[in-house]
Chain A
Amino acid sequence: MKISKLNIALLGNPNSGKSSLFNHLTGLRQHVSNFPGVTVDKKSGTILLENGVEANIIDFPGTYSVYPNSSEEKIVINILTDKTNDNYPDLVVYVADATQLERHLLFATQIIDLGLPMIFVLNMIDLISEQGDILDIKPLEKYLGVKVIPVSVRNNAHLDSLTHEISAASQQIKGLEIPIKYIFTDVENFAATRIQKSLSTTSLYTAKVIAHHYKWLNHLDEDQKNKIKTITEQSAFNDLNLQVRETMDRYNHFAPVVRETIKVAKREKKSLTDKIDDIITHRFWGPIIFFAIMFLMFQSIYSWSSVPMDLIETGFASVGNLLTNSLPAGWWTDLLVNGLLAGLGGVLVFVPQIAVLFLLISLLEESGYMSRAVYMFDIIMRKFGMNGRSMVALISSGACAIPAIMSTRTISDPKERLITILVSPLISCSARLPVYAVLVGFVVADTDVLGIFNMQGLVFMGLYLLGIVGALVSALVFKAILKSENNSFLMIELPNYKPPIWKNVFLTVKEKVTSFVVEAGKIIVLISIALWFLASYGPGNDLEEATTNAQNISIEKQLSDQDRDNLIASYKIEASYIGHLGQWIEPAIKPLGFDWKMGIAILTSFAAREVFVGTMATIYSIGSDNDEQTLRQKMASEKRPGTEINVYNPATSMSLLVFYVFAMQCMSTLAIVKRETNTWKWPIIQFIFMSVLAYVGSFIVYQLMT
């Protein structure tokens, strides 16, 4: 008897309704963490058994068999072959789709052979009766030797009896007499018995699975691996052929059982799914419908989130004002308002976009549409080293790269996922818009060409296209450089369409928002505080001198209080560390046509791109950064020192625009990339390659235009 809490594992194929059952059993008593050392979500929660004892329940990634094809499936096999693992289950609740019973039995029989106690949940029985099929669980129960419970998670049918059975089963977990459902060949027998002896694993079948996978099983040490290697070589253990043989053999055994369990009624020629797919995956209409859906999604992210985003921004601004006015002036009030509060605001402002995107994505995912999109665009995205699913991530990057990068979890191939993460921020996001809006007027006049096109509109479009081309070309480069561990597969199920389960949608949105706020939030707040420090302090007493100078000038010129404060702010930022930094990098950015003022704006833009406008407003001592018109007038009249040349001439402005298209100026994105890749390596590489791209791009543009 274990003293620690009982571990119950939910296992089953993808699309078995396993996660819905998990959500039903745990409700809000669930949390997401990572399996040790990998970025695979571990969803766990607690359930209260009938005897009042709490048990751990873990929702394992959907798995087809003990022969894994993705890193997520490998985690599952790693745990199931390692009795000492913290996540090793005491009891397996296996979930199977009754309408796909044959396929879903494969993994179930393998788990039984691994020696794990099991309750077999036969889900979606509502569909069985809908189709007019007749279900009899007795033959199945007899074959498996475990309790079979028919349920419908969607309709909440028979779920009480499930909780009852779990409680009963956990009371007395049987010491298993290991019913091997698969008859070994001589080779397998030879290898497995020896491995079993050498590792003292209890089940013979576990030993066979280890013989297949010992190279990547992380609970084996080098010594054990060498021993197993010798054994498999001695027995001429052919990994691939034996996998195929075992799978075929199992299917042959349970196929008759499936026929006895479910008496299939005559099917209509075309199901509803067939009819929907005739249109939705149509060679011509399919892509058009896809782009229409993506366009609506893009629009919704923009429009639905703009009001709450404004509310968050103004809310934080007024709280900041309130604190500034009511707290005694001092460095810590400043830190609280301009460092901490600004940082928090910078995190929370993304919440509406993340919530809206994941609401829509999980609706598409739940209904079954997403796999159709993957099927249609697989070939195109594969040319760029990505996957059909990357299409959705790249399009949502047009609103914001953060939720887009979070959505790449569904890409199972690690290389395809990584490339998608790396190039997504090159797609122009909504935060670049204000920068484009301020600068585009300096590049071309607001005139019409050919009577229909607006010149500025064309430049805008060109900037977006430049981002897309940049993303695709970078993807090609990464495709060539990065090594692939897995072989890439398509082979996906196109599940029958079904209405989404709202509880699942709601929990996905909640989980994504929480993980962003908690994980990325920590990093963003820290960087905000660092930026606040750099902009508020300067070397020696530079700041005091700057303030006195500004005050003297404003007395001389008899400026109003408002103008005086603006002038002081402008002098102060120039004298601060970040101002010095801006002047220090001026030689480096001069070939791009930038002066130190732009240097400061580029540095502060690292917090977020839209900060550019605010910083420019401070430098040009305009109080409110909302006043784009005044800012633009100030910028337009700015001359290079000692000349009559406009600072914001077309060449410089275009160069600055190109810089903003390519540069990685978003700490929130970097923070989320760190979280999603579980290392600082990739955000650093991403920052460097995007900066190089921005620098070279701006250099070329500026040199060509002057």
Chain B
Amino acid sequence: MTIQRTLLSLLPGESAFIEKLDVGISTCKLLNLGVLPKTKVTMVRKAPFGGAYYIKLDGHQLAVRTEEAATIILENQI
């Protein structure tokens, strides 16, 4: 079994494609906000006091908490 790479593994400025979402309570809301498999996601920066991330998707920006970011699984190729 390979280790899954989540959004949290991206450093500021890095991008990757989303493979899937770990199904949980936040999944539907993430999908509603355009966090979809095969979409490119860019880690922009971490919040000043931590706990949240500024991310960029196809033409729009989102803020997600650490727990929410951890459910976003990335494809292995960059």
Contact = CB atoms under 8 A, between A and B. Distances in A.
A459 to B, nearest CB: 31
Interface centre among A241, A243, A491 (most CB of B within 10 A): A491
Interface in A64-102: 64-65, 67, 69, 99-100, 102
Nearest to B27: A244
A389 to B, nearest CB: 12
B8 interface: no
A281 B53 CA distance: 11
B33 interface: yes
Contacts of B44: 277
B10 interface: no
A376 B48 contact: yes
Contact of B29 (A69, A284, A376): A69
Interface residues of A, number: 44
A240 to B, nearest CB: 6
Interface string A257-278: 0000000000100000110010
B33 to A, nearest CB: 6
A284 B34 contact: no
Given A247-B28, A287-B48, A376-B47, A494 B33 contact: no
Contact of A493 (B23, B58, B61): B61
Nearest to A241: B23
A102 B57 CA distance: 12
A47 to B, nearest CB: 29
Contact of A379 (B25, B47, B59): B47
Contact of B60 (A100, A247, A284): A100
A213 interface: no
Contact of A64 (B33, B47, B49, B61): B33
A374 interface: yes
Contacts of B68: 489-491
Nearest to B12: A283
Contacts of A267: 59
A450 interface: no
Contacts of A437: none
A378 B36 contact: no
B34 A103 contact: yes
Q: How large is the interface on B (under 10, 10 to 19, 20 to 34, 35 or more residues)?
A: 35 or more
A255 B65 CA distance: 27
A492 B61 CA distance: 9
A74 to B, nearest CB: 14
Nearest to A267: B59
Nearest to B51: A379
B63 A490 contact: yes
A493 B57 CA distance: 11
A247 B32 contact: yes
B49 A492 contact: no
A275 B52 CA distance: 20
A67 B33 CA distance: 12
A494 B31 contact: no
A375 interface: yes
Contacts of A99: 59
Contact of B51 (A102, A277, A283, A382): A382
A284 B48 contact: yes
Interface in B58-78: 58-65, 68
Nearest to A492: B63
A332 interface: no
A491 B28 contact: no
A690 interface: no
Given A248-B37, A284-B48, A106 B32 contact: yes
B51 to A, nearest CB: 3
Given A65-B32, A102-B34, A277-B54, A378 B60 contact: no
B48 to A, nearest CB: 5
B49 A379 contact: yes
Given A281-B45, A284-B48, A382-B51, A492 B62 contact: yes
22 contacts: A64-B29, A69-B32, A240-B24, A243-B27, A247-B31, A248-B31, A248-B37, A267-B59, A274-B56, A281-B45, A283-B47, A286-B48, A287-B49, A371-B63, A378-B47, A378-B65, A379-B50, A490-B52, A490-B64, A491-B30, A493-B61, A496-B61
Q: Which 10 A-B pairs have the closest CB atoms?
A: A379-B51, A64-B32, A375-B63, A494-B61, A490-B65, A103-B34, A247-B31, A283-B48, A67-B28, A243-B28
Interface of A: 64-65, 67, 69, 99-100, 102-103, 106, 240-241, 243-244, 247-248, 251, 267, 273-274, 277, 281-284, 286-287, 371, 374-380, 382, 487, 489-496
